[in-house]
Amino acid sequence: MTSKTPTTIIRTTLPRLPLPPPSTRAPILTPRLLLRPLTPSDAEAYYKLRSDPAFMSESTLGKPDVSPAETLAALAELANPARETFLFGVFIAATHELIGDGGIHTVRFSGMGWPEIGYKLAPAHWGQGYATEAMRGVLEAWWALPREEVEVRVHGETVREGEGAGLARERVAAEIATYNKGSENVLSKLGFEHFGTWEEPDTQLHRLGQPLEMGHYVLSSPS
């Protein structure tokens, strides 16, 4: 399977745009975590995360912030109501320690056509089930948003035969480097199904343009 598999145009449902601005979004509570939109008051804690190369290793650029100003710019972008995302800071509920971020980073027009999910966690908190718990909370809030019917072009392998004849079931997509077995495990626990692996040009500065093998996954809406 390659990215050259034909795309198809379908009718489906997606969250109604514009999404609620980050400043109005209700916090999400899970058994151990608090998820809420990040604000400028989180700048110091967020810089501590984003200045860690391991935390930023799977980000788009793959490099840490070198100054608090870079982190402030990232926070400003997250708070921008014109930027259609559904992203949250991930906090330990009992201590309010910021340990990561995540959510739907591409609401429309991702490479697979569907909204796309992703996350980053501080290395000290890897392997403790926090990523699965956080993204499960995000997805529950995502599916609860008001919907509208839309026409979208999606990767052909993400829909089942015959769905184009009616209203196709909504999906959320994810892509991860094939070496990232931890995130592969998270997606499996969330119910994502693998539908293809192919090479894409790397976007990280130290490997810019080099081929990177990526696994592609999709999750169907609960109903």
pLDDT of residue 163: 76
Q: At which residue do the structure tokens 């026409």 appear?
A: 151
d(CA 161, CA 139): 25
pLDDT score, position 114? 97
Question: What pLDDT sits at residue 43?
Answer: 97
CA 183 to chain centre: 12
Kindly report, residue by residue over 52-81, the tens digit of the pLDDT: 999 998 888 789 999 999 999 999 998 887
Query: What pLDDT is recorded for position 93?
Result: 98
Sorted by where each starts, the structural domains of the chain and their CATH numbers stand as 7-168 (3.40.630.30)
User: Which residues does 14 contact at the CB level (< 8 Å), separation at least 6?
Assistant: 107, 108, 115, 147, 148, 150, 152, 170
CB 135 within 8 A of CB 102: yes
Look up residue 198 and give its amino acid: W
Supply 171's token pair: 């999906």
In the prediction, which pLDDT does 166 show? Answer: 83
Which amino acid, residue 67? S
Residues lower than pLDDT 70 in the chain: 1-5, 164, 205
